[in-house]
Amino acid sequence: MSIQSDQASVVVPFASRRRAAATPADPALLPPVLIVLHQETSTPGRVGNALRALGYPLDIRRPRFGDALPATLDDHAGAVIFGGPMSANDPDDYVRREIDWIEIALREQRPFLGICLGAQMLARQLGATVAPHPKGRVEVGYYPIRPTAAGRALCPDWPARVYHWHGEGFQLPKGAALLAAGDDFPIQAFQFGDAFGLQFHPDVTYAMMHRWTTHGCVRMDSPGAQPRHLHFAERAVQDAAERAWLKHFLDGWIARTPRGTMLQAAE
């Protein structure tokens, strides 16, 4: 099942949102955030660190290895689907199940975030096409993004360059708001209600970058990919801005959790 809408997404600036309830010192008073990963060694990286710092426990599941996804997000503050080496177009059952499951987050209007593959799955759920670059180009390394007026209204402090690791992109789903654009892959960030898709990887830590550029070094032979040394040289320049943006973004994103969920968790 996929959700489509004839109405444009309404962008509400994160800065104008007040947290439904102040973050308690005791994380047990907050519902967990559902984390969906795709490899045995994958971690939620910097996104997980930031959510824990806000007081949210993480409910980590790997459907690829048999973990079930919840029938409702009533017991969760939100959900994040992360990246992976697979494609949103793959015929594997778990890929199809994850794409179908996103309908629950959309229907229940819970905060949802898709990163890279997760964004492509969200685009597929919303009826958009996911495909490789027509000239076989990839984005592997740091590349510029350009926030739109809607993106700046939502969150003003966008970084100039962000970290990427992908060979597929997607169309802007019908009814979604474009938040940031790029060159080889024009759709870099979008919003559909309480759901957000990011083509880039603000989740990547220094340790993750070492693993990816070592175990995935074959990707750096693709057209458009940057050599390994530039990944680390660019990180030294760009990472502080990307880290600050992610903190601001996640704080506003999780604040979209319905007040009823917060109150229920505190009881």
- Residue 75: pLDDT above 70? yes
Residue 24 has what pLDDT?
Answer: 43
Note the pLDDT tens digit of each residue in 133-185.
999 999 999 999 999 999 999 998 999 999 999 999 999 999 999 999 999 99
Relative to beta strand 112-115, strand 195-198 is: parallel
pLDDT (average), residues 38-46? 94
Q: What are 205-257's pLDDT values in tens digits?
A: 999 999 999 987 767 889 999 999 999 999 999 999 999 999 999 999 999 88
| C-alpha separations of 31 from 1, 38, 265 in Å | 27, 23, 6
Q: Would you state the structure tokens that stand for residue 136, as one six-digit string?
A: 């076989």
Could you give the dihedral angle defined by the CA atoms of residues 159, 164, 167 and 168, in that order, rounded to the nearest 10 degrees?
Answer: -50
For the chain, give the longest Cα–Cα distance. Answer: 55
Are the beta carbons of 88 and 99 closer than 8 angstroms? yes
Q: Give the model's pLDDT for residue 239.
A: 96
Rounded to whole angstroms, how far apart are CA atoms 55 and 149? 31
Task: Supply the pTM of this predicted model.
Answer: 0.89
**Cα–Cα distance between 180 and 16 in angstroms, integer?**
20
